[in-house]
Structure formats: C-alpha cells, structure tokens
Amino acid sequence: QVQLVESGGGSVPAGGSLRLSCIESRYTYRSYCMAWFRQVPGKEREAVAAIREDGTPVYRDSVKGRFTISRDSAKDTLYLQMNSLTPEDTAMYYCAAARSQGGSRFLSFGGCTYNYWGQGTQVTVSS
C-alpha cells in the first residue's frame, strides 16, 4: 500500500544538527499518523517523534526541545529536524506510517500503531 524512503542521515559531531526526510509513496489514502523510530543493535526499536493527522506532534522525553517533527502533505514528505545531537542519539532512524490494513512489526506511540516501515537511515554522533 505504501513505500517509505528515508534520507538525510550522516555523521556529525556532538552539538551538530541533521534533518531527516521521508517520502511516502502511496496509491490510496494518506497515512493518518507518521513517526520516526530509532534502533541500535541489540536494543528494541523505540519511538522518537510522531505527528498525528491533525498535525499534533508527540515526542519522547529525551528529545523534547531538540527535535522537531513536521509533515508537508503536498509533498507527502515527513521531516525530523534534529538539533543539539548527542552520542546517545546515534542509531538507525526509521520512518513509519500507521495504516488500517496490512503491514508488519506493529509498534504503538502517541495514540497510533505503526505498521509500515522504511529501510532506515543511519545517524552517527561523535563525542
């Protein structure tokens, strides 16, 4: 039903910034919630930020005040602006969409359950 393609990852020093992008290719209705998750090897995938259909953002506590999620509906693109990065932010970042049918790896955050995933983009922050 939908394909998600992330970009914008890279390597930055602590205190630096990155902006991730995710283009949603779909053939039907727009996903009603979208989010960013991240994962490091050996750990569970965790939610970072989400944006609901009405535009309301939700953040995990550790990124509040540093990360900003936004959505350009005209371009079917999701963004994550990340500022004041720390080594603890190092991870593979995944774009996720919540849709009513299909998908896999169901994870919930901020009132939505995400079931479609991109391939990920690596973010590495050096100390």
Tell me: the pLDDT tens digits for 93-118?
999 999 888 888 999 999 999 999 99
Count of C-beta atoms within a 10 Å radius of residue 91: 21
Q: What is the pLDDT of residue 46?
A: 97
Given pLDDT bands bounded at 50, 70 and 90, which one contains residue 61?
very high
Residue whose token pair is 């901020």:
110
Do 65 and 110 meet the contact criterion of CB atoms below 8 Å apart? Answer: no
The CA-based angle 55-101-3, given to 5 degrees, is 70
Q: What is the chain's length?
A: 127
